[in-house]
Each structure stands twice: as structure tokens, then as C-alpha cells.
Amino acid sequence: MATVVSHHLISSIASPHSPSNSKASLFPKEPFNLPIKFRQNRFKIEATTASQTPVLDPLLSPSKTTPHKKKSNEASLILIRHGESLWNEKNLFTGCVDVPLTEKGVAEAIQAGKRISTIPVDLIFTSSLIRAQMTAMLAMTQHRCKKVPIILHDENEKAQTWSHVFSEETRKQSIPVVAAWQLNERMYGELQGLNKEETAERYGTQQVHEWRRSYHIPPPKGESLEMCAERAVAYFEDNIQPELALGNNVLIAAHGNSLRSIIMYLDKLTSQEVTSLELSTGLPLLYIFKDRKFMRRGSPVGPTEAGVYAYTKRLAQYRQKLDESLN
């Protein structure tokens, strides 16, 4: 397998995975968005008319579940690395420091949204960092479904109660957004805030390269890519893959290293191959989950380019219904 993966010319690759226990989504009745620790629970997406995309309702309690019938035998998984941040622009190690996007990063997020504007999205997962959340929110402003992404809160009972949406119709026009620290960028330890060029001059180019690109070696008091992968992939298996198995379409807006970790899992890359994987800011990568396999379809750069764009029959039908609902 090639060690460098291009976003621009990616053929369809099927990688078999056995999904984590395919749990049924849970259904809510009480005025809470979700119970405490909702990140460990599931969502219920209710079927609507052909011109509408599915609807989320929050949970009543972990003990009261409603069996959910799988909507489809395939689901879309969109991965987007956040747009350029202010510290990307300044060439600083960012890691888990919470900095926003630049004007260029905002434009990249909007352009990413245009590229995925006809791909169905039922759930959004982001990291807890603002640059990833901005990217997801800005991208969805371009989506043709015109639904509003709403960040779910579980800080405490009051946060859940106060952020509850009481209008059924409004909920139908919303998309839940789950922010998870497990999808955060690698923690770069004592390198965070340092200029990358000055750090290379101080410690040596080879040492900094090992900190940045090796799989096992962490920077001083920071995380290695291996450590980042342990938390990011575990979260993906426990919280995101079961949603895909239920036919729910998922968008993940996160970071270079957390997404590299997930792609390593999806494509079964080795620890050597993943170190050569480069992800451009603001450029979507699309997978189709079908028959317990992840099939990479490349970056959506055009509406009908079958070799690059995931132009499946199901997506074509979705776009047709979307066009009919907007006309």
C-alpha cells in the first residue's frame, strides 16, 4: 500500500471491519437534550417524508430504549480537517491550545461545505476545540438541506435543561453536534506555542521531525501519534461506527492527527504508512460504510465524477429528492 495518500485522486478502497456491537439508538421523551455522558449513548433518527432528512430526538434514560430499524444498508462518512487556524498561519505548534480560524480558514470551511452540500448529514461530531467546531458550523451553512447544526451540552443538568428545544418542528430542522475531547489534536506538550522553525534550530531538524512524524515518539510532556490514535479510534468505534451501522450519515470535523488516526483504522494502514499521510486543511474526504466495510471514495470535487466523487445510487437519489424539495 502506498505510504502517501492523496486527497485529489483517490480510488475506492474497501477495508473490512467488524463494527462494534450494533446497538439500537435510544429515544427521549423528557425535556433534556441528552442524559449526562451522552457521548457514550446513541441517537435515534426518525424517518420523515422523502423531501426531508432524518430527525434527532434526545434520550429519556439509558435504561429505556426503543429498537430502531436500520434505514439503509449504507451510510456516508465525511472527514474534514479544520481550516487554517491563527497559529497555523503563524507557524506555531498548536496541539490542544484552543485558537480560532483565520479568514483563509473560514473560506476553506465554507468551500468544504459547498463540496459536501448534497451529501446527507444526520449527525456531526467535532473535537472540543473551536477551530474544528467553526469548520463544521461554517460548512453546514452551505448544505442544501438548510438544517441548523446545534451543539449538544452535558456540562451539568442545567446546561441540558436550558438548551432543550421544545418545538418538534424546529427539531426536525436541526442536526445534532457532539463535541468530544477524544477527537482533539495531539497534545504537543512543551512544544505548544513554539515557532516550528525556531524549534528545529534549537533541537535539530531530525529531532523535531521525529516528534512530529514518528508514530511512537512523543514530544516532551506531550502525546505521540500512537497515544492520540488510542483515544480517537476508541471513540470512533464506541460512538461513531455504531451510528453508521444504523444507516446514519456522519460528518466529523477534527484535526490532522486525530483524523490520521481514524483513517489508519479505516484503511488498515501500518504505523509506518500513517506517518506519511498528509491531510489538507478544509478538504473533505468521503467514505461509504456498507456491508460492514469502509469504502473510500475520495474528495468530493465534482457532482458527477464517479472516479473521484462518491456518486452512488443512494446519493444520487438523495440529491434528486433534495432538488425536488427545494423547487
Q: Tell whether residue 84 is among the known ligand binding residues.
A: yes
Q: Tell whether residue 94 is among the known ligand binding residues.
A: yes
Mapped onto helix, strand or coil, the DSSP state of residue 35 is coil
**Does residue 82 have an active-site annotation?**
yes
Q: Tell whether residue 231 is among the known ligand binding residues.
A: no
With cell 429528492, the residue in question is 321
Q: Tell whether residue 314 is among the known ligand binding residues.
A: no
**Does residue 168 have an active-site annotation?**
no
- Catalytic annotation, pick one of 74, 108, 185, 223: 185
Q: Tell whether residue 315 is among the known ligand binding residues.
A: no
Q: Tell whether residue 297 is among the known ligand binding residues.
A: no
- Asked if 251 and 122 touch (Cβ cutoff 8 Å), the reply is no
With cell 480560524, the residue in question is 101
Q: What gap in Å lies between CA 158 and CA 108, rounded to an integer? A: 35
The two counts, helices (H) then strands (E), for the chain are: 12, 10
Q: Residue by residue, what is the 3-state secondary structure of 201-254?
A: HHHCHHHHHHHHHCCCCCCCCCCCHHHHHHHHHHHHHHHHHHHHHCCCCEEEEE
Helix axes of 205-213 and 196-203: crossing angle, nearest 10 degrees? 120
Q: Tell whether residue 185 is among the known ligand binding residues.
A: yes
Q: Tell whether residue 302 is among the known ligand binding residues.
A: no
- Catalytic annotation, pick one of 68, 82, 143, 255: 82
Q: Tell whether residue 83 is among the known ligand binding residues.
A: yes
Q: Tell whether residue 213 is among the known ligand binding residues.
A: yes
Q: What gap in Å lies between CA 83 and CA 106, rounded to an integer? A: 6
Catalytically annotated residues: 82, 185
Annotated binding site for substrate: 81-88, 94-95, 131, 185-188, 196, 212-213, 256-257
